[in-house]
Structure 1
Amino acid sequence: MKPVSHLDSYRPQIMAGAPPVPELSTPWDVRVARSDGYDLHLVHRWNSAPHVAAFWRQAWTLPRWEQELQAHLGGDDVRPLLISWHGRPVIYAEVYRAARHAVAGCYRARPHDLGLNLAVGELAMTDRGLVRALLPRLTDALFEADPHCTRIVLEPDVRNTRAIRSFEAGGFVAADEIMLPGRVALLMVCKR
């Protein structure tokens, strides 16, 4: 086996594989979201909730979410995840390869950079410090799962000050305001 060099992240000819699925320890658990049944209905309901839809802008129909999840599961760019706290699903997350995402047009993305989208699904579970408690564990687990990854990025809507504060408390640093399709976002970075 070839030794891992973090310099590999700088080599443009290196093609990164699918984003990893991190392993989390108690009280957290993570699994890949399915495109049917309970998972599909939960992801659809959460993304239709006003506190999520206001910033994610993905209050799509159930069939549209089914297609989205199937596309994620069938490709190598995005991993849709359900994150549970004490056995209860609380967060929908997407781990993606930043170099293959619109955010790559806004900064010098390396092939192994990972991006994160996070949403606390139930309004009653917001403002409990879940994201700020989860992020250090999640970033450590992602760095562990992909030894070539040197940076993880977030790109919250600039208006989502509550999320931005949680991301900062969880170890991310604001880098720059960026234009993404249909919105102004804040590029936030966590380095290995």
Structure 2
Amino acid sequence: MSIPATPSMTTVDDEITLTPVDPVRDVALIHSWVTQERAEFWGMREKSAEEVGEIYSYIDEQEHLAAYLASWQGTPWALFQTYDPFVDEIGQFYDRRPGDVGVHLLLAPGPRPAGLTAALLDFLPRWMFTDPRHQRVVLEPDVRNAKSIAVLGRIGADQAHVAQLPDKTAQFAFLTREAWATTP
């Protein structure tokens, strides 16, 4: 199962849009986000803009990976990535199921408009579950990323096991379509 092709732009409520990352156009912005201390869990703090561009060019070329800029009222506020755990190495570290799709989310640095984080955390699962093939979202933040782990319960995800991945110790969590549908 591969992540399905997506439209070039998806809009919900005319406020939040997802636009596929263009590795050339977006490299300066992404580099400015992933090299900050707060993004240490992305493993790119020491990367040059050229290296970050190469990473996102690679992602762009892969059928099982996708990267998007999430914008609110026209301003990019988050980097959102998806992967197919049946292809990606992360799938080797948990019991994969048909319908699984993995995600990563990085919020832009600096102050955000009131309610934006909550709106993104509502929008992204809603967008993921518009595809009927997606039955469970796989999340695996670094165990040291207390802020991300705290968010998991708020969105309805169930924490699972901790696993040593090649580049981090991950706290696995899963958000099923059913749990998301019943989360207030």
TM class by smaller structure: 0.7 to 0.9
Do the aligned residues in 2 keep the contact of 1:133 with 1:170 (CA within 8 Å)? no
Distance in 1 (alpha carbons) for counterparts of 2:85 and 2:109? 27
- Pick aligned residue for 2:66 from 79, 85, 91: 79
Identity of aligned residues (%): 25
Q: Which has the higher contact order (CA 8 A, sep 6+)?
A: 1
**Match of residue 108, structure 1, among 91, 95, 99:** 95
C-alpha deviation, 1:45, in angstroms: 0.9
Please say if residues 3 and 65 of structure 2, whose CA atoms lie closer than 8 Å, have aligned partners that are also in contact: no
- Relative to the length of structure 1, the TM-score reads 0.81
TM-score by length of 2: 0.85
Change in Cα spacing, 1:130 to 1:153, as seen in structure 2 (3 Å) is farther
Superposed displacement of residue 35, structure 1: 0.8
Q: Does 1:157 align with 2:142?
A: yes
Which range moves more in the overlay, 178-187 or 42-51? Answer: 178-187
Mapped to 2, the partners of 1:17 and 1:160 lie a distance apart of: 26
1:105 is paired with a residue whose SS is: helix
Alignment map for 1:27-176 (pairs within 5 Å): 27-37=15-25, 39-52=26-39, 54-59=40-45, 60-125=47-112, 130-144=116-130, 146-176=131-161
State the distance in 1 between where 2:72 and 2:90 align.
29
- The alignment's C-alpha RMSD in Å is 2.1
| AA in 1 matched with 2:41 | F
Alignment check: 8 A CA contact 1:153 1:190 kept? yes
- Alignment partner, residue 175 of structure 2: 190
1:17-32 alignment, distance < 5 Å: 17-18=3-4, 20=6, 23-25=10-12, 26-32=14-20
Tell me, which stretches of 5 or more residues in structure 1 are unaligned? 1-14
Give aligned pairs, total.
Answer: 174
Relative to structure 1, the CA distance from residue 19 to residue 168 in structure 2 (aligned partners, 3 Å threshold; closer, same or farther) is: farther
Aligned in 2, Cα 1:168/1:129: closer, same or farther, shift over 3 Å?
farther
Q: Does structure 2 retain, via aligned residues, the 8 Å contact 1:136–1:171?
A: no
CA distance change for structure 1 residues 130 and 179 in 2, over 3 Å: closer, same or farther? Answer: farther
Q: Residues of 1 paired with 2:136 and 2:5: CA distance?
A: 13
Gaps of 5+ in 2: 178-184
Question: Tell me, what secondary structure is at the counterpart of 1:98?
Answer: coil
* 1:157–1:183 CA contact under 8 A, matched in 2: yes
